Chain A
């Protein structure tokens, strides 16, 4: 079963700042509720583990993400795949666009095309749309707060606590960092979709 989701966010920050924040592992970890792990596995490959708890459902999602065609600081595509074991799977593509609106505002548009299968697709269809919206709203609310908090140049405590491997990679590849960020967004979207999959539709 394939579905598309999209959303827009207006962030009161300059585009470069938004882009940089999106690639900041610390910001992303803090923006994704329940993010337990976020690491780079290869040049363009990332892995994440996120615990999602909504309603009666609580499960940990193992997601892999591949960054495709980054064009800093405006757009990128992420290919994600998530596995929930016996619960089912979800995969898809997410595109993110940043458009400057003057010096101090950025329009962030995202769209994701996803395919879900397994038990979650069977049981949770009615909850998919609502859960994606809720999770993306949560993500952007936290993300905007992170942007606001770290409006200065001092690194946030989360960034400072990022694993050494991430920091080393970041300093080596600017685009690598960007990809991690985009990856995280894709993870958020992918996880949101996966989440839907696991929502139970039949019982009370």
Chain B
């Protein structure tokens, strides 16, 4: 692992200032992606800014119309907190299904979302829920935040502070794991609420995406059969060692249908 300068921030202002002064600095959240990359020699940032001592990023609380989850909350904590399990069980379940317990104990929602891995679970959950991302300077809708492969709307010196999940509606997320890496080969998040149906897919290869055709079909009739015979466009999927584009496209439909079935089971 390369030599680097380690800084522990105590205010968000510090973080922003440091990011401006050191353009090659990297934020250290849970480190579950960053540290492994550094161990593999795939990244060598000269400065790491540790976010663990920012109390405002650790908060989880229920507000009138949303659940606030601080960016530094670990997947494990979000999964086990009764507050989350009661208010938004689909979110707690998504968190509890990420990777394995050891990774969940360190990995954070903020780190996952800011990284925007094209096979990560949180971005799909946020996009389907129509969540709002809150930074040190503004609020961004999930639709505007996720912009493709590892690409978000965050400016280079911008810090994600937390996520607002709407309390209305329900989310169900189903993924098919690639057996070795435990990443989602494909994952489908279906949210149903007062404003309609939202479907977000992960693992297809080019970044998190909504699926408008499925949303339209499910708005007409909310039932798994509505997706029968409809695959996600295969030319928008990637093929690799693990699955062909066509397989992913078909899997997307299958998993979306299963998520819809879960909604019906829990209605």
Residues of B contacting A127 with CB < 8 Å? 118, 149, 205
Interface pair B43/A56, CB less than 8 Å apart? yes
Interface pair A202/B36, CB less than 8 Å apart? yes
Instruction: Report if B99 contacts A (CB, 8 A).
Output: yes
Partner of B42, one of A1, A125, A133, A200: A200
Interface-centre pick from A1, A130, A198, A203 (highest chain B CB count, 10 A): A203
Instruction: Give the dominant DSSP class at B's interface.
Output: loop
Interface pair B103/A57, CB less than 8 Å apart? no
Instruction: Report if B132 contacts A (CB, 8 A).
Output: no
Interface pair A126/B37, CB less than 8 Å apart? no
Partner of B150, one of A54, A85, A87, A204: A54
Interface pair B42/A199, CB less than 8 Å apart? yes
Q: Mark A166-202, 1 if CB is under 8 A from B, else 0.
A: 0000000000000000000000000000000011111
Chain A interface size range:
20 to 34
Interface pair A204/B103, CB less than 8 Å apart? yes
Interface pair A204/B112, CB less than 8 Å apart? yes
Interface pair A200/B37, CB less than 8 Å apart? yes
Q: Mark B112-130, 1 if CB is under 8 A from A, else 0.
A: 1001111110000000000
Residues of A contacting B24 with CB < 8 Å? 58
Residues of B contacting A119 with CB < 8 Å? 40-41
Residues of B contacting A165 with CB < 8 Å? none
Interface pair B240/A123, CB less than 8 Å apart? no
Q: Give A58 to B241 CA distance when docked, in angstroms.
A: 24
Q: Give A130 to B245 CA distance when docked, in angstroms.
A: 11
Instruction: Report if B15 contacts A (CB, 8 A).
Output: no
Residues of A contacting B207 with CB < 8 Å? 130
Within 8 A of B (CB), among A23-80: 54-59
Nearest Cβ distance between residue B19 and chain A, in whole angstroms?
A: 15
Interface-centre pick from A126, A134, A198 (highest chain B CB count, 10 A): A126
Known: A125-B242, A126-B178, A126-B242. A57 touches B183 (CB 8 A): no
Chain B's closest residue to A197 (CB) is: B42
Within 8 A of B (CB), among A112-140: 119, 123, 125-131, 133-134
14 contacts between A and B (CB under 8 A): A1-B241, A54-B150, A57-B42, A57-B43, A58-B45, A125-B240, A125-B242, A129-B239, A130-B238, A134-B149, A134-B206, A198-B40, A200-B33, A201-B183
Other 5 A-B pairs with CB < 8 A, given A133-B206, A202-B36:
A55-B150, A86-B41, A125-B241, A130-B207, A203-B32
Spell out A's residues near B (CB within 8 Å): 1, 54-59, 85-87, 119, 123, 125-131, 133-134, 198-204
